[in-house]
Amino acid sequence: GAGVSQSPSNKVTEKGKDVELRCDPISGHTALYWYRQRLGQGLEFLIYFQGNSAPDKSGLPSDRFSAERTGESVSTLTIQRTQQEDSAVYLCASSLASAANTDTQYFGPGTRLTVL
Amino acid sequence: GDSVTQMEGPVTLSEEAFLTINCTYTATGYPSLFWYVQYPGEGLQLLLKATKADDKGSNKGFEATYRKETTSFHLEKGSVQVSDSAVYFCALSSPDGNNRLAFGKGNQVVVIP
């Protein structure tokens, strides 16, 4: 079946502009995660959605970052007033459920964001 | 907080050589441990996992054993191929952390024919 998809695959923007990144999780996956991968670094957790529960926003680096999810489907990550340090690959992952920490997360191909 | 440490630097080795990539972790409770791999031009994919102490995860000739006493999850393969060239990430998922993954910085592995 279809995996996690993300769009756009690449985004170049000017400093100060807002950007919106999209993630389509695997159908039936209730848990959805956003991560960021800066050059030469491991992945950093940003935000987590599980069903209709309040999202875990503890990884968002500043109030310029926000995310939404419609039910158990599409999620969008919005970065307002982008800065050069926001340049990174933004990865989305989904898993069947998060009742246990044994679940495998399936990753999308990522959106490469470049802020000029 | 939870963290994962991988050995520094890229790994370059010849085909059929033995590969070890070290991974140690710090976590509360009993985390699950994962190795993810990113092949050139592809997305991140699960290589193997272990969910409790002394479990061994294995896939594609790779193995890693969950060692609680040394808080380690080292990745090994007995005979690497050129197609194993990729970036390898060790990660943990803590039951106290909404199951989000904490990743190491990754190791670039280059296998030379």
Kindly report, residue by residue over B54-91, the tens digit of the pLDDT: 999 999 999 999 999 999 999 999 999 999 999 999 99
Instruction: List the single range of A63-72, B43-52, B92-101 with lowest mean pLDDT.
Output: B92-101
Q: Does A42 reach chain B within 8 Å, measured CB to CB?
A: yes
Helix-then-strand count for chain B, H and E: 0, 12
- Rounded to an integer, what is the distance from CA B95 to the centroid of its chain? 19
Residue B39 has pLDDT above 90, yes or no: yes
Instruction: Verify whether the Cβ–Cβ distance A45 to B45 is below 8 Å.
Output: no
CB pairs under 8 A between A and B: 65
Instruction: Verify whether the Cβ–Cβ distance B43 to A102 is below 8 Å.
Output: no
Give A-chain residues touching B59 at CB under 8 angstroms. none
Kindly report, residue by residue over A56-99, the tens digit of the pLDDT: 999 999 999 999 998 888 999 999 999 999 999 999 999 987 56
- Residue A98 has a pLDDT of 56
Interface probe, candidates B7, B24, B44, B89, chain A, greatest A C-beta count within 10 A: B44
Looking up tokens 């489907």 gives A73
Q: Rounded to 10 degrees, what is the CA torsion of A40, A42, A47, A48?
A: 150
Nearest residue of B to residue A89, measured between CA atoms: B43
- Residue B7 has a pLDDT of 87
Dist CA B63 CA B27 (whole Å): 22
- Considering only the beta carbons, identify the residue of B45, B89, B99 that sits closest to A98: B99
> Rounded to whole angstroms, what are the CA distances from A90 to A43, A68, B23, B48?
9, 15, 24, 23
- B104 band by pLDDT with thresholds 50, 70 and 90: very high
What's the angle, vertex CA A87, arms to CA A81 and CA A90, rounded to 5? 100
Residue A1 has pLDDT above 60, yes or no: no
> Rounded to whole angstroms, what are the CA distances from A28 to A4, A6, A32?
11, 17, 11
Give B-chain residues touching A91 at CB under 8 angstroms. 43-44
Residue percentage of chain A with pLDDT more than 70: 97
- Considering only the beta carbons, identify the residue of B51, B94, B98 that sits closest to A48: B98
Nearest residue of B to residue A46, measured between CA atoms: B100
Instruction: List the single range of A28-32, A97-101, B43-47 with lowest mean pLDDT.
Output: A97-101
The answer for A 66-85 residues in CB contact with B (under 8 A) is: none
Kindly report, residue by residue over A99-113, the tens digit of the pLDDT: 667 788 999 999 999
- Which sign, positive or negative, has the C-alpha torsion A73, B38, B101, B62? positive
Give the 3-state secondary structure of residue B73: coil
- Residues whose CB falls within 8 Å of the CB of residue B5, separated by 6 or more in sequence, listed in order: B23, B24, B25, B26, B104
